[in-house]
């Protein structure tokens, strides 16, 4: 048998359990009820005890130890609001329709989590769900002053001074992917 990592084993066992219990659960209804629950929370940035999608969080670097935080962030859907110009223009040049933000919703979620918890650094984030009004992301944060983090050889790199403000400077994986697509080709 091929030796799998713990993360892959967890994901495989969850998948096998879901296949066996597919007839017992209505996953669509479960997801809908979860998102309704998310919508009821008044805070747009809410700290969680544990991630809702454990295999995904583990694949992004989460560990169940002190110093790691998981935060669910709510971001409004749709493009950025643009005011219609008051002076005369032809409709094509009004600059109201088909305008989008320059950064993705996931990156906005990372920035909000970072500003809410200034003593932590954003490690990564992942999509949780959406409804008609909002998109929901879970952001993994690391407390850079925690002694458990400083002692852990896998994550101690985040405590260095040069890794301050990763989300603000676009150094998370989502932000890097986003910038990759915007490069000019040829020139």
Q: Which pLDDT tens digit goes with each residue over 93-141?
A: 888 777 777 889 999 999 999 999 999 999 999 999 999 899 999 999 9
* pLDDT above 90: residue 82: no
Confidence (pTM): 0.79
> Within 13 Å and on the Cβ side, how many CA atoms surround 69?
22
- Please state the domain extents for the chain: 30-81+92-181
Alpha helices in 21-163 (DSSP H): 27-40, 54-59, 105-116, 147-151
Q: Burial-class residue 6 by CB neighbours within 10 Å (0-12, 13-18, 19+).
A: exposed
Which fold would CATH assign to domain 30-81+92-181? Ribosomal protein L15e (3.40.1120)
CA nearest neighbour of 112 among 81, 134, 145? 134
């Amino acid at each position: 048998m091929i030796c799998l990592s713990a993360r892959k084993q967890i994901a495989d066992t969850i998948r096998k359990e879901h296949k066996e219990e597919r007839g017992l659960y209505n996953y669509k209804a479960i997801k809908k009820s979860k998102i309704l629950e998310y919508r009821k929370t008044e805070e747009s940035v809410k700290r969680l005890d544990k991630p809702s999608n454990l295999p995904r969080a583990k694949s992004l670097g989460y560990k169940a130890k002190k110093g790691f935080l998981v935060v669910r962030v709510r971001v409004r859907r749709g493009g950025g609001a643009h005011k219609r110009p008051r002076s005369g223009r032809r409709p094509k040049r009004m600059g109201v329709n088909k305008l989008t933000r320059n950064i993705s919703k996931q990156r906005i979620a990372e920035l909000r989590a970072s500003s809410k918890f200034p003593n932590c650094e954003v490690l990564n984030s992942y999509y949780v769900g959406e409804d008609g009004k909002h998109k929901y992301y879970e952001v993994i944060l690391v407390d850079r002053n925690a002694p458990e983090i400083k002692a852990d050889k896998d994550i101690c790199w985040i405590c260095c001074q040069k890794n301050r403000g990763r989300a603000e400077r676009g150094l998370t994986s989502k932000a890097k992917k986003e910038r990759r697509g915007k490069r000019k080709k040829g020139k």
